[in-house]
Amino acid sequence: MSIHKYNRLTLIVAFIFAAFILNAQKNFTMYHLSQTTQANYLNPGFKQENRFYINLPIGMQNISFMNSGFKVSDALEYRTQDDSLELKPNLLLAQMKDLNYANFEMSNELFGLSFKIKENFISLSVRNRFQTRFTYPQDLFEFAFEGNGNDLLGKRASLDGFGLNLTSYFEYGLGFNRNINDKLTVGGRIKLLSGIANINTAKTEFGITTDANSFAITIDGSSEINTSNISPFTDSTVSYSPISSLFNFANMGFGIDLGASYQYNDKLNFNASLLDLGVIKWKTNVNNYISNDVNYTFDGINLNQALDSIDIFTELSDTLRSVFKQNENNESYSTALRTKFYLGGSYKFNDFFNSSILIYNEIIGQKYNVGTSIAGNIQLKRWLSASVNYSIYGRSYNNVGFGLNLKGGPVQFYAMTDNILAMINPISAKHFHISFGMNIVVGPIKENKKIKQETREKERQERKAGNQPKVEKVETADPVQTKETN
């Protein structure tokens, strides 16, 4: 195994552990700032005004961490006598649910291009997607922090659901967007996927029960874990280059995104999208680990054998090896993408301020997660727009998002986070998220500009005549551009 592979593995592990203390977001801010070109990734049905964009010099970079179980600050207890902190890991337990999860997600737009042909908006994209989800039961931490001799004595410490899911793949997308009429815009994207690596914890049902009287420890459960292209990280005899996955589609998958936006009236807009509906079939370097149903009780060493001078540790080792024997095979398997869908709506108070609400839904395996967000968005200038939002997700209630969208000529730059508090006080945050990028954007056609100039001249003349201006929405490439009319 090359040093690079070890480094990559180390990086992955570091990210996984980072997910414990940081958080993840679902691009609420970008969805609220829908005029950002890359918001099309979140809803391919958003109405597109620009004629062309290309993600130069850098495409969208999106990184998020999320830990639903606790914040670092949850483990700290303030001590007034010396103005110091006491680290009490067991305090984390009160914050956890029975099952908790830590996510790390990364999306890198390697290539993005879109152009408009009449009313049809075509987009091409290549993205690197990396997603991990580490699911951990509360009892695991209780076992580690408090041991099995406190509350877990006489009970089953449940490790059901414990496991890691990791998916890394390249995504080739072909998008289409079209205004059906003045009110309705629909869009979709079909995606061809090339899997890089995967860990799929299909099943873990483990429990550790400590007998209250004898302290005998019973381990029960079973598990099934599928992996693809993980062995190159652990087995130097297996050669594998992740870069080759960019082109070879050895682990091929398909996915679709769908979206729609409906302008109910001048002020009210409804939108919805369904993302990442699809599967990847994993075929290369597959190792499936299946452990049969285990129910083993360790009562301590057999003292009778010890007195008979039998090598009890060898006996115990053989027993454990037999009990926890797992079957391995190399059969290909499929994993579903992390399907998610957004439901949103916005209300436009005036030309430069609107408020939007968003409900986020995610399905991972058989688990369903939901989050919600409400935002205030402003369009100060044509080149400056911003969003402040509040969101609830992953049992975290202190997430304040902030996003900024700047446009100078054809260059659009944006940076946003779903939880700016995590940057200010990271130990008190469950979520961390940042998204940024830069695009070359060509706006609406020049006829619009001409119409706009004529309109403005007309408004000016009307103001001179003493009439109050009246804001009227016009069809422009930029949805926040307005026209004042009498």
Partner 1 sequence: MNRKSLVLLSFSLFTLAVLLIGCKKKISKIANTGWNPNIAVPIGEATFEMSDLIVNIDSTFEVNSLGEISINYEENLDSVLASDFFTLDDYTENFDLTPPGLVPVPIFPNGEEFTNSTTISTSYSAPAGTEINTLNFNSGNLVLTLTSTFQHDATFSVTLPDLIKNGSPITRTINLNYLGSPTTTQSISIDLTDVAADFTAGGTLANSLRASVDATITGTGTPGNPIVGNEELHLDLSLNNLEYKNITGYFGQEVLTSATDSLLLKIFQSANNQGSLSFSNPTLTFNIENSFGVPININLGTFYSIDSITGQSHSLVISPSAINVNTPANMGQSASTSIVMNKNNTTNIDKIFDVNPRYLAYNLSATTNPAGNTGNLNFIESTSMMKIRANLHLPFEGSASGISASDTLEYSLDNDIDLLESVMLRLDVNNGFPVSFNAQITFVDENYNTVFTLFDTPTRVINGALVNNATGKVTSSVQKVTDVKLSSEKVNLLRQVKHIIVNGIVSTTDPQNTNVKLYDSYNIAIKLGIQVTLKN
57 or 149: whose CB is closer to partner 1? 149
| Least distance between partner 1 and beta carbon 329 (Å) | 35
Q: Which is nearer to partner 1, 76 or 192 (CB)?
A: 76
Site for partner 1 in 157-216 (CB under 8 A): 210-211, 213-216
How far is Cα 473 from Cα 481, in angstroms, rounded to an integer?
Answer: 8
Residues 374 and 389 sit within 8 Å (Cβ to Cβ) = yes
Q: Is 300 in the site for partner 1 (CB under 8 A)?
A: yes
Q: How far apart are CB 141 and partner 1 at their closest, in Å? A: 11
Instruction: Kindly provide the b/e burial profile for residues 256-290, where b requires at least 16 CB atoms within 10 angstroms of the residue's own CB.
Output: bbbbbbbbeeeeebebbbbbbbbebbbbbbbbbee
**Least Å from the CB of residue 150 to partner 1:** 5
What part of residues 88-127 is at the interface with partner 1 (CB under 8 A)? 88-90
Applying CB under 8 A, which of residues 18, 76, 250, 440 lies at the interface with partner 1? 76
347 vs 353 by CB, closer to partner 1: 353
Cβ of residue 205: shortest distance to partner 1, in angstroms? 23
In the window 361-420, what residues touch partner 1 (CB under 8 A)? 376, 378, 380, 386, 388, 398, 400, 402, 420
Classify 307 as helix, strand or coil: helix
DSSP string, 125-190: EEEEEEEEEEEEEHHHHHHHHH-SSSTTBTSEEE-TT-EEEEEEEEEEEEEEEEE-SSSEEEEEEE
Of the two residues 200 and 373, which places its CB atom closer to partner 1 in the complex?
373
* Burial label, 160 (beta-carbon count in 10 A; 0-12, 13-18, 19+): middle
Among 302, 339, 355, 448, binds partner 1 (CB under 8 A): 302
- Transcribe 52-77 into DSSP letters: EEE--S---EEEEEEESS--GGGGEE
- What is the per-residue binding string for partner 1 in 34-53, x denoting contact by CB under 8 A? --------------------
Whether 107 and 129 have beta carbons less than 8 Å apart is answered as yes
Q: Is 350 in the site for partner 1 (CB under 8 A)?
A: yes
Contacts of 92 (CB under 8 A, 6+ apart): 69, 70, 74, 75, 141, 145
Give me the torsion for CA of 18, 23, 26, 31, rounded to 10°: -120
**Minimum distance, C-beta of residue 85 to partner 1, in the bound complex (Å):** 5
Q: Is 270 in the site for partner 1 (CB under 8 A)?
A: no
Asked if residue 301 binds partner 1 (CB under 8 A), the reply is yes
Judged by CB under 8 A, which of 78, 182, 314, 466 binds partner 1?
Answer: 78
Positive or negative: CA dihedral 472, 475, 479, 484: negative
311 lies in the site for partner 1, by CB under 8 A: no
Beta carbon of residue 447, minimum distance to partner 1 (angstroms, whole number): 28
Nearest residue (CB) to partner 1, 20 versus 101: 20
**Tokens of residue 304, six digits:** 């009778």
Q: Which stretch binds partner 1 (CB under 8 A): 34-42, 72-80, 94-102, 246-254?
A: 72-80
| 428 interacts with partner 1 by CB under 8 A | yes
Q: What is the amino acid identity at position 136?
A: Y
Query: CA neighbours within 13 Å on the CB side: how many for 332?
Result: 12
Three-class SS of 81-102: CCCEEEECHHHHHHHCCCEEEE
Q: At closest approach, how far in Å is the CB of 456 from partner 1?
A: 17
The one-letter code for the residue type at 472 is E
- Binding-site size, partner 1 (CB under 8 A): 54
Q: Least distance to partner 1 from the beta carbon of 144, Å?
A: 7
Backbone angles phi, psi at 152, to 5 degrees: -80, -5
* Contacts with partner 1, residue ranges (CB under 8 A): 76-79, 82-90, 144-150, 153, 210-211, 213-217, 298-304, 306-307, 349-350, 352-353, 376, 378, 380, 386, 388, 398, 400, 402, 420-421, 424-425, 428
